[in-house]
Structure 1
Amino acid sequence: MKILVRKFLEKESTPGIFLMGITILALIFSNTFLSEFYNTFLHTKIEFKIGSILEISKPLILWVNDGLMAIFFLFVGLEIKRELILGHLSSFSKIALPAIAAVGGMLVPALIYVFFNYNNEFALKGWAIPTATDIAFALGILSLLGKRVPVSLKIFLMALAIFDDLGAILIIAFFYTADVSVLSLSLALLCIIILFIMNRMKITAVSVYILVGIILWIFVLKSGVHATLAGIILAFTIPLNVQNEKNKRVSPVKRLEHNIHFWVAFYILPIFAFVNAGIDLRSLSLNEIVNPVSLGIICGLFIGKQLGVFSFVYLAVKFNLAKLPNGTSWAQVYGISVLTGIGFTMSLFIDSLAFADSSMFSYTDKLAILIGSILSGLIGYLILLKVKGKKQVSE
């Protein structure tokens, strides 16, 4: 039994399947007699206090969105750093196609959303919601196809998602930042300087970086800049490879990435999904679902992502800026383009920043994210399943 559980947990598709199950659980809680308990649970106040020096008081949902998601972004940052230096993004030839595809995959969905909501200033805050890709879900669906999809195409999707995450980080930093506290920001900058000094001193003790990182998170939270950015900053200050006193090469980045991967996949993202995906569908009507915000999100994810990614890949190849991944066909690239419309956790996260606790859209924005993501996942899977027998270019 233990062996079967271990094999299940090690599968690429498992995090995506687990997320799907947690999402269904959240919908059950929010649409049954458990809804009152669910909403009370989400808004339970949790306080952290150190005398009169420090006080953080937030509802549970914000502790998840600001706190646990900082750990998620730490993991993302570690992955980006490793790939940029040693991995699939370490040269121009490797990054050209996924980088260009990611730009298209963010630009076109944003334009589609703006097209639907250009005359509503408040609704325009959500322009970035359909620009995101949930890599856990996308890779999970891709893994269900097994050998029908070449490894090079999986690497392309991973690299594209990494650039997508970079884009999300920049969007959060520049467009979803509240009024800034100069004092807190200055103290956060001091923490960053300390982290870089530690890096230059080649300190390998991950626990020391984490300690300073927690202090950094507190100051970033208090500064008005979104606290999750502390995770990214921390990741980029941790050394990738260091020669220790025994003349052995150690990698704090790889060690930390390995240690938190399981927690991110099976605790942090599922908890985030549980507290954010609970949508009360009992009083929804068709008129509420087809409002401009919902249409902008659904069309942005399902149409905008595939159109943006595929068209930018086509132009990049046509103008010899990049080449298709080895062993892939245009039909497979199109299928992957459709899969990038699975926004889910990242879209829900940006939605929580854009509209905060506003009830203006009666949760239809979250429902739209689910609809757009489900359509993209289902259609993308069917396309890739259908083109499995197509002759491919050899390695």
Structure 2
Amino acid sequence: MKLVKKISLLATAMLAISDLSYAAEPNTDYELKQVVIVSRHGLRAPLTEGADSLINATPYKWQKWDSTGGFLTAKGGALEVYMGHYFNDWLVQNGMLQKNTCPTDEQYYAYSNIVPRTIATGQFFTTGAFPGCDKIKYHHLADLDGKDPIFFQSINDTSKEYVTKVVAEIEDFIDQQNLASSYAKLQEVIDYKNSYDCKVDKKCELAKQPNTVVLEHGKESSIDGPLHLAFWMVDAFMLQDYEGFPAGQVAWGRIKSDQDWVTLAKLRNAYIDAAYLQPTLVNRTIKPMLAHLNQIMPDQQSTEQAKITLLVGHDTTVGPIIRAMGFNDYTLPEQYEKTPIGGKIVFQRWHNKKSDQDLLKVEYVYQSTKQLRNLEKLTLASPPQRVTLSLKDCQIDANGFCAWSDFKKVMNNLVN
């Protein structure tokens, strides 16, 4: 992407910081004491360039991107600037920050996985939240070629018993998904019957091709086959839409309706669920992250934990946390993904002054497909989407609060 376009996008985001409309003041009976934000990285370019499996599955040529595949786009940076500024407004409104001041190390701690798109996401979010505060420290592993165990959900058990159980759960899940209509829609969109796969290799029906579970020690789980192919193709279409490609270029203009998106998104969501969220697998692979969360959200708040923590990972971070912790199922209005690009799980420690009790509230904060595509600025009056989540073993009240002590029981049982 040309430098002038990058500057224009980021300047637009930064200029909007001064254009605010504030919402009503919160209930003064509750005091916000701690916030932990677990974020998926922001808008990136898809991994279509040179990918033979994607090239051979359609007669159409994949659109060129100005950004390198897998890297945050300039628009992705601008969207995170908007989100960061919105969070600052919300935190100021709830008394955790002072307006127009830079946070101390005790107030704000940002840490990301070592992938370029996660580092960039956290940096842009931080810039939006604290413009002009160039002394804020941003943290990640020093070895950029390594694997951060907090974010990398690797297989550490390849015993026959464990592998057999995991494979059975994944295969059973896929069998129950009834994906035939979604595969058929994808084949229509990509014109699969005229692809190299069909004409040369005689693979003409995705639904009839096998999926193979791959579990290798030290690597993340994966699935070879049509579901993985569908995941990457639908992912690419969504990213084209978020980036703002003309409608005639998004999936070559062959996605015609919201229902088409819903039908196709089922494939992407199913792959994430199958490959990363099945119980025997997820309860073990996400444990380092859960242990980290348990440590930074202790029984009693202390000065050792920052009041505001940002952790930036992937959909394979956010999804496993939600599944392993036992959150009830949820719906995200105005989105097709279960773990949207740039979406954030926001753990909040509130203190009820009347009962002198700490409470937990968890929300999914994310941008709708429209907000992403249109690069809409976010303010308290025009906020991102917010959905309250609930834990099965931490009953919430009408305001979305559950007892912090019950939450800690859930966490301690998971990590001990």
TM-score band, normalised by the shorter chain? under 0.3
Normalising by structure 1, we get a TM-score of 0.23
